[in-house]
Structure 1
């Protein structure tokens, strides 16, 4: 995994190496919602009566929705566009990441380092510098969100057999198992796990 490779690479470097490092960088994404609720491109379900009459969200807003469904984004804040003192459009800003590990490291690291993701008007989705990474206490990083996501993906791909499935497998194997007939000299008994001389 790319993020794990990054972590290993960082562990091999030192701040004095003279290399400008920026790791776990995010992207600044936003979606918009018209004040009249005619168009709401900030909802994963695209609610709002405007969506039913052909109102469209931009490709970037649709991509943001997909990233949100994968839990890859951190909400930063909103900014409002006003005309004559009346709010006409609200933009919601996010920092989104390429994978969940990048997001977890960023959120946990910034919490430790006292760094924010900026504001609605000025999102800060930059990567972490090598100096910042060296200051992180990795024992205090909570990887629970990432680990739980891995578990879900693993078990959805490799399902444990249920009771009926196990019973069917056992029944299908039974004809191949030979019953011991009591004769220790019969070589066919070896197919059942019996060995000559064993009792």
Structure 2
């Protein structure tokens, strides 16, 4: 074992406002232990989500929701020519036809009759003219229908990269027995709007929620992830309360209480985290989406690009953005500017978006880095701003939390 050094759908506005007003934070939440992560149970065939998430019925309209009926016939088309069918209106259920087949409503056009009464498809003679069981004139579509029971949506799981353990094995003298990695990271992904996220942007920047841990006890990426999981635990508590019959305000209180207990304001911007939790509450985002979005918006992730994480008939329905996320913004900056200097990373700086390579530097590699060639101005500006405002902001977060609890 190595050692790492420094290492649903959107809420309606009225309901969201009720959640915001109903948040009550305990004044005595001073414990600094990170909450445990909530277990995740996958729901096939689309995307694993938390078991506490509400599970909507399939959308009876033309476009399938996040949980289409496996007995339905579905079709997909890249209507805006952007390389996927992840946008709204680019997937649909097919209509049954009198010949026992199914017709895709995407790009459907009426067939044209000739002098003999024979119908042909104006899109192309290779496409059959069909009459829908529901009635109407014969029509055709260039898009193929398939039964989800026999042609399921193929979905990639979240990136599985636990990262390097911050505490490797040591001998009797305290010497590390594993490989030392400096500024190590973890491969993660978040998903932009698509079918599986119910068109929610799970990569959305929500501001600097997780605070940089340089110079504090919140130093390892594992601890940062534990802090992020605390927000997800708060969301799960809110879901549980809602499903048990709680009002919106009571559910928000339950989520906020679970969020704040165990989190120190020196590690997280509490007010932003609560807003983040509420916005994600009924979206199709999963736990890794949330973890990545929070670290990404806090400046701790390097994006590698996008890849298809869900497809149907070879057409991409959902994309994901792969990242290497680090314990601090400084770690991310040094990794970005240090890797090109080392021959060990030549030809493969970061791996791929689907399989990020986020290892830390060995001691020998770290000593070989030329810091005079690095531009650290982004981090210097962050230090200057933080030195002047952090204490005031942390105190304000705690005071606001107390006042919210008193008012509610």
TM range (shorter): 0.5 to 0.7
Distance 2:288 2:370 in 1: 35
The partner residue of 1:130 within 363, 372, 376 is 363
Count of equivalent residues: 141
Preserved CA contact (<8 Å) 2:205 2:296: yes
Structure 1: distance between partners of 2:379 and 2:312: 43
Within the candidate set 294, 306, 313, 1:84 is matched to 313
Alpha-carbon spacing, 1:158–1:62, altered in 2? closer, same or farther (3 Å): closer
Contact conserved, 1:20 with 1:130, CA < 8 A, in 2? no
Deviation at 1:158, TM superposition (A): 7.2
Are residues 1:23 and 2:182 paired?
Answer: yes
C-alpha distance in 1 between matches for 2:194 and 2:314: 13
Q: Deviations over 1:74-108 (max 9, x none)?
A: 00121113221211110111111111121121111
Note if 1:75 corresponds to 2:236.
no
Gaps in structure 1 of 5+ consecutive residues = 5-17, 46-50, 160-199
Post-superposition CA distance 1:97-156 (Å, at most 9, x none): 111121121111112226311111221111111232232112212221111110111122
Tell me whether 1:42 sits opposite 2:203 in the alignment. yes
Question: RMSD of the TM alignment (CA)?
Answer: 3.0
Distance 1:25 1:108 in 2: 14
Q: Choose between structure 1 and 2: higher helix proportion.
A: 1
1:1-199 matches, within 5 Å, as 3=6, 20-36=179-195, 38-44=199-205, 54-80=282-308, 81-113=310-342, 115=345, 116-157=349-390
TM-score, structure 1 normalization: 0.61
Q: Distance in 2 between matches of 1:148 and 1:52?
A: 30
Where structure 2 has 5 or more consecutive residues not aligned to the other structure, the ranges are 8-176, 207-278, 393-408
2-structure distance, mates of 1:103, 1:158:
24
Q: CA 1:19–1:61 in 2, change beyond 3 Å: closer, same or farther?
A: closer
Q: Is the 8 A contact 2:304 2:352 kept in 1?
A: yes
Supply the distance in 2 between the matched residues of 1:56 and 1:70 (Cα, whole angstroms): 22
Structure with larger Rg: 1
